[in-house]
Amino acid sequence: MTSSSFSVSQSHGGRFWTLRESDEALVRALTPEVGGSDLLARLLAPRGVRASDAQDYLKPTLRNAFPNPSSFADMEKAAALVLDAIVEGKAVTVFADYDVDGGTSSAILTRYFRAWGRELGLYVPDRLKEGYGPSPAAFEALKTTGADLVITVDCGAAARDALEHAAAIDLPVVVIDHHLMSGAEPPAAALVNPNRPDDTSGQGHLAAAGVVYVFVAALNRLARERGIAPDGGLPDILQWLDLCALGTLCDMSPLRGANRAFVRQGLKILERGQNTGLRALADIAGIGKIESVYHATFVLGPRLNAGGRVGDPWLAAKLLATEDRAEAIEIAERLHGLNDERKAVEAAILEQASVEAQKTLDADPDAGILIAAGEGWHPGVIGIVAGRLKDRFHLPAIVIGWGEGLGPVAKGSARSVHGVNIGDTIAAAAKEGVILSGGGHAMAGGLSLQPDQLPALKEWMAAHMSEFREERAAAKELVIDALLAPASVTPELFDQVETLGPFGQGAPQPVFALRDVEITYTRPIGENHLKITVEDGSARVECLIWRCMGTPLGDALMQRGRVHLAGRLNDNEWNGRRTAQLDVIDAAPAD
């Protein structure tokens, strides 16, 4: 079998594999830009990077990538309103979403105000009692308690009713958001959103934390134009790039353009551990240095999100803004505990939802969507469970929960596969009265409904999804970037591939395949993971497979035998010895 003919028609994970084809002319043009490495050129080419842009991609800098604040609609207007409020000592409150993007955004603003000797008030809505984003009641409460100005971050762009009420009670609101908008612009004192229809900045891929970071740059620029500054000079916003990077990564924003620079440079700030709250959270999580995308996205992110999911939604924003080590440790410990609680709740719901999803496929193997619902399923984790179902079965998935103490109506969260716009689909269901409300974007969405509307939703979705047969089939494809021999899986190769990072949404870590290797050792790790060793007669490779126990993939690997493996490179250091390993994402029989 030649490398060009390598493919897998049916894997243990229910997928088919294809070997990526290369644009040979582009590979030749890119090779000098990556130090003469044919492999790196082939890995870089599919990312749409031209040879002339390769260095900006490989070594992104703020100098080259930072957006012009004036290119954003309403940016200068918003900066003037907020800087005036700072100088005049007005009472300003930041209204933040309860996720990491909202928490990092609010912390950047809190620290900016603090540098001017001002305290910024904070309001974070309760997921169960208030739902997402600002409400008329929330703005009424802020007005009553003396707020002169409100800044919403990571929310607000679609809160028409709330903003109309704010205008009626003479409460100016500056909206800083990044979510998609439709219809007429809602009333606000200023609305900064690169995804508003009339914005021409070209920065719609930014997370809210990225938009806020550009906003504080605009504040500094305006202050310089006016010739004003706090004692000690204008705030050095570079020190908060760690918060911008964290929000960008955890919100899964595409790592292109300014986002690549934010993350590449922000990781350097994260590694220094100078944010008191993040340092405390990392210590309690036991990771030492915060030195990778993995640490930010999969260690810190879930803990910061835990408060908004199953506990106090204010915790993340408070932790990220505090300078008090004792307070940071206390909050970090609470978030760590809430994350353990979240994992337990998630695991219980995932087990039930997986059974329901399998029953759906047993009854109809050609089902176009999986809908699992249950009384008592917590709205804070149903989105995670929907993502797990989508990843396991390679189909769009909706998970719905309701019950006493979980809000007045049932809440659903959806995750989709490429080519199936779940947000538009949910919005259409709402428009036709199948559910109470809902929407989202291509890959994720949310909905509200009465539990007795569930049968009608399932019937409507089944009919609607029948038109996406080709897209659902394509979602099962796993594209292999390159084949590796076990002997080539070394720390040196890992380091070489890492030069293409940071990896994340829109810039995925390359997927490699080991062809026809024998499993010689297996060992379960914890409750859900598996460690194996594979050999080809000349070298061996250690492999890890996450969350695979009890799945067809895990069951097949436990039987050993000869297999093809697909996965991503990682490194491991133990007792002073560094080795490379493969984090396996799929496997197939080698016969």
DSSP 248-310: HHHTT---STHHHHHHHHHHHHHHHT-SHHHHHHHHHHT--S--SHHIIIIIIHHHHHHHHHH
CA 6/CA 427 separation, integer angstroms: 41
Is the CB of residue 308 less than 8 Å from the CB of residue 343? no
- Which has more confidence, 277 or 126? 277
| Residues contacting 130, CB < 8 A, separation 6+ | 137, 138
Nearest to 157 by CA among 173, 176, 172: 176
Residue 2, pLDDT above cutoff 50: no
Q: Is the pLDDT of residue 227 over 70?
A: yes
Q: How many percent of the chain have pLDDT more than 70? A: 99
Mean pLDDT of 32-43: 94
Task: Work out the pLDDT band at 4, boundaries 50, 70, 90.
Answer: low
pLDDT-derived band of residue 440, with 50, 70 and 90 as boundaries?
Answer: confident
**Residue 217: how many CB atoms within 10 A of its CB?**
18
The continuous run of DSSP H or E covering 413 comes out as: strand 410-415
Residue 1, pLDDT above cutoff 50: no
- Domains identified in the chain and CATH numbers: 3-20+481-589 (2.40.50.460), 64-234 (3.90.1640.30), 364-474 (3.10.310.30)
SS (H, E, C) 537-556: CCCEEEEEECCCCCCHHHHH
Span 452-510, pLDDT tens digits = 999 999 999 999 998 888 988 898 999 999 999 999 999 999 999 999 999 998 899 99
Q: H or E element: which one contains 518? A: strand 512-525
Strands laid side by side in the 437-440 sheet: 370-375, 397-402, 410-415, 444-449, 437-440
Residue 406 has pLDDT above 90, yes or no: no
Query: What average pLDDT score do residues 62-75 get?
Result: 97
Contacts of 515 (CB under 8 A, 6+ apart): 1, 6, 483, 564, 590
Tens of pLDDT, residue by residue over 157-202, are 989 999 999 999 999 999 999 988 877 889 999 999 999 999 999 9
Phi-psi group of 403: left, alpha or beta (phi > 0 → left; psi -120 to 50 → alpha; rest → beta):
left
For residue 92, the model assigns a pLDDT of 98
Q: Which residues contact 403 (CB under 8 A, 6 or more apart)?
A: 375, 376, 377
Tokens of 483: 């084949």
Residue 303 to residue 286: CA distance in whole angstroms: 13
Helix, strand, coil in percent for the chain, rounding step 5:
45, 20, 35
H or E element at residue 175 = strand 173-176
What does the pLDDT look like over 247-257, one tens digit per residue? 999 998 999 99
What is the mean predicted confidence (pLDDT) over 436-452? 90
CA triple 28-29-35, angle to 5 deg: 85
Q: Which tokens belong to 103?
A: 């928490």
> DSSP label at 178?
-
Measure the CA–CA gap between 474 and 476, rounded to whole angstroms.
Answer: 5
- Please tell me the predicted confidence (pLDDT) of residue 387: 95
Structure tokens at 510: 């390359």
Question: 527 or 228: whose pLDDT is higher?
Answer: 228
CB 503 within 8 A of CB 294: no
Residues 568, 510 contacting (CB under 8 angstroms): yes
Q: What is the mean pLDDT of residues 511-533?
A: 95
Q: Where are the beta strands (DSSP E) in 89-130?
A: 92-96, 121-123
Contact 235, 115 (CB under 8 A): yes
How much is the average pLDDT of 539-568? 95
Residues in contact with 148: Cβ distance below 8 Å, sequence separation at least 6, in sequence order: 85, 90, 91, 92, 172
Q: Which residues contact 117 (CB under 8 A, 6 or more apart)?
A: 230, 231
Is the distance from CB of 503 to CB of 47 less than 8 angstroms? no
Q: What phi and psi values does residue 326 have, to the nearest 5 degrees?
A: -65, -45
Mean pLDDT value across the chain: 94
CA 387 to chain centre: 12
Structure-token match 């929407």, residue found: 439
Q: What is the pLDDT of residues 313-353, one digit of tens each?
A: 999 999 999 999 999 999 999 999 999 999 999 999 999 99
Cα(324)–Cα(237) distance, integer angstroms: 20
Which residues, 6 or more positions from 83, have their beta carbon under 8 angstroms from its beta carbon? 219, 222, 223, 226
What's the mean pLDDT in 391-417? 92
Does the pLDDT of residue 536 top 90, yes or no?
Answer: yes
**Residue 47: pLDDT over 80:** yes
Q: Which residue has the tokens 């915060």?
A: 290
Q: Which residue has the tokens 């703020």?
A: 62
| Sign (positive or negative) of CA dihedral 319, 324, 330, 333 | positive
Report residue 142: phi and psi, to 5°. Answer: -65, -40
Average pLDDT of the segment spanning 404-411: 87
Residue 408 pLDDT class (50, 70, 90 cuts): confident
The answer to whether residues 416 and 396 touch, using CB atoms and an 8 Å cutoff, is yes
The pLDDT-based confidence of 126 (bands split at 50, 70, 90) is confident
Q: What percent of the chain has pLDDT over 90?
A: 86
Q: How many CB atoms lie within 10 A of CB 113?
A: 23
